[in-house]
Amino acid sequence: MSGRNEAIARLKDGGFIKQRQEEYFAVRVRVVAGNLEAEQLPKVAEIAKRYGRGYVSLTVRQGIEIPWVRREDLEACKAELVAADLAVAGCGPRVRAIVGCKGSVCPYGLVDTQELVKDWDTRFFSISGFPHKFKIGLAGCPNCCSKPQFNDVGLMARVEPGLDAERCNGCGLCVKACGEAAIDMEDKLPVRDARRCLGCGDCVRVCPRDAWLPARTGLSLFVGGKFGRHPRYGRRLAEFIPAERAFEAIEAVMEYYRQDGRRGERLWDTTERAGLAGLNERLAAVGGEPSLPDAGPMATVADIGKAGREVATTSVGCGQRQDKPSDTENPSAENPSAEKPGGKNPVPADDTAGVPVLDLRGELCPYTFIRTMIALEDVPSGSRLFVLLDDGQPIRDVPRSLKGAGHEVQRITPEGPTFRLLVKKDGAPLK
């Protein structure tokens, strides 16, 4: 690396991002939990006018950048930001800005996300010494607005509802409110199916008699997620970590990454190469409980097929479901004449032995499509994949989106309230 490039790299580590335009930089400003004090806003505007071109840009990770700052003005710009109780945010192999949703004020929030992010920012922001960048994200409920599954460490709040039967009047409002069909009425009392429950707490919120109460609340832990050229959906490793101990889980992942990671390697790649045994040992001391076995793009596609054949309980998106093992040896046994839509080119019922299964029942859009695309990325062109989807938006949108991406939906088979798709990677789209 030349001396000039080394200097630019050092500036980038310090939060000064080189623009395409010669001698101009964007100054990245640290914004904790996505919040600025009202009195800081006029100062940021003043600095942008003085050193930039009078505007600021919002970043994906809830920060701001002041573009068009000349190299000779960088230090003066930084000094004025510091005087306004702001700081420049670093890049490089260090902890990046921590993203958190507005769960502290959002009606769906299950934990105080803003205070947690502030605490983690104080503990971890800009810590360096990692093989690559290290991103942390937090969602206050299973809606996952902040997309924690696509961070190196992602945490998502969940609640386990418990019923006080003496308070319940059998109104059934919780049954109607549950978007996952996880509650049914039996003998005039609601019964929750833990396999379908996402832990969103809607039943607790709507109950007019406070019969549904939070039995426990905690955080699910995802490890190794990332976007970029090769996106990965983080592996779900733990459930119901106490919010006040979540920083210990983050520290455990950091220790694992520093010890087992190689220079230039993202955390996902470290887990693929080094395995999870060392990390699981560290997490065991934090509290919470282990997650159920991985399925979908949280594991390799080869593992998906194995999970579908051999594992009765699988992790599905932000929730859990217990099903019978998938019959991948002959999934069309009851319908040997299954055909592609349109009645053309029948697919033989006996040619799908060993085709892996991606179970996305209970998953929300758009993650159904994203996770299917990630799974297809891991298999050769021409390979096939079974995808299990719920009725409604998933079955309406995913086949159309897959065909638009150049894949072939060879078969759509109803299975009770769900559907089984047979997808061929890079096949000719259906007409």
Please report the pLDDT score of residue 300 as a whole number.
32
Please report the pLDDT score of residue 323 as a whole number.
40
Please report the pLDDT score of residue 171 as a whole number.
87
Pick the residue with more confidence: 329 or 274? 274
Q: Grade residue 223 by pLDDT with cuts at 50, 70 and 90.
A: very high
Domain 310-424: state its class: alpha beta
Q: Grade residue 192 by pLDDT with cuts at 50, 70 and 90.
A: very high
Q: Domain extents for the chain?
A: 3-88, 99-290, 310-424
Q: Tell me which architecture the domain covering 99-290 has in CATH.
A: 2-Layer Sandwich (3.30)
**Statement: residue 328 has pLDDT above 50:** no
Mean pLDDT score, 398-410: 84
Angle CA 358–137–376, to nearest 5: 25
Q: Is-contact 150 214, C-beta < 8 A?
A: no
Helix (H, G, I), strand (E, B) or coil at 239: strand
**Statement: residue 304 has pLDDT above 60:** no
Please report the pLDDT score of residue 123 as a whole number.
96
Please report the pLDDT score of residue 343 as a whole number.
38
Q: What would the pLDDT profile of 204-217 be if each residue is shown by its tens digit?
A: 988 888 899 999 99
Q: What would the pLDDT profile of 331-388 be if each residue is shown by its tens digit?
A: 333 443 334 333 334 444 457 888 999 999 988 888 898 889 989 988 899 999 999 9
pTM (2 decimals)? 0.70
| 366: preceding bond cis by omega (within 30 degrees) | yes
**Statement: residue 53 has pLDDT above 70:** yes
The secondary structure element, H or E, covering residue 46 is: helix 40-51
**Statement: residue 429 has pLDDT above 70:** no
Q: What would the pLDDT profile of 242-297 be if each residue is shown by its tens digit?
A: 999 999 999 999 999 999 999 999 999 999 999 998 899 899 888 778 875 433 33
Q: Is-contact 372 358, C-beta < 8 A?
A: yes
Domains 3-88 and 310-424 fall in the same CATH topology: no
Tokens at 352, concatenated: 């799908």
Helix (H, G, I), strand (E, B) or coil at 297: helix
Helix (H, G, I), strand (E, B) or coil at 255: helix
Please report the pLDDT score of residue 406 as a whole number.
87
Question: Annotated catalytic sites, by residue?
Answer: 365
Tokens 């109780």 locate to: 85
The secondary structure element, H or E, covering residue 217 is: strand 212-223
**Statement: residue 419 has pLDDT above 50:** yes
Q: What would the pLDDT profile of 127-172 be if each residue is shown by its tens digit?
A: 999 999 999 999 999 999 999 999 999 999 999 999 999 999 898 8
CB burial class (10 A; 0-12, 13-18, 19+) of residue 410? buried
Tokens 């109460």 locate to: 213
Q: Hey, which bits of 133-205 come out as E strands?
A: 136-139, 153-163, 183-186, 189-192
Pick the residue with more confidence: 203 or 350? 203
Q: What would the pLDDT profile of 63-113 be if each residue is shown by its tens digit?
A: 999 999 999 999 999 999 999 999 888 788 999 999 999 999 999 999 999
pLDDT over 70 percentage in the chain: 84
**Statement: residue 175 has pLDDT above 60:** yes
Please report the pLDDT score of residue 318 as a whole number.
31
Q: What would the pLDDT profile of 31-42 be if each residue is shown by its tens digit?
A: 999 999 999 999
Q: Tell me which architecture the domain covering 3-88 has in CATH.
A: Alpha-Beta Complex (3.90)
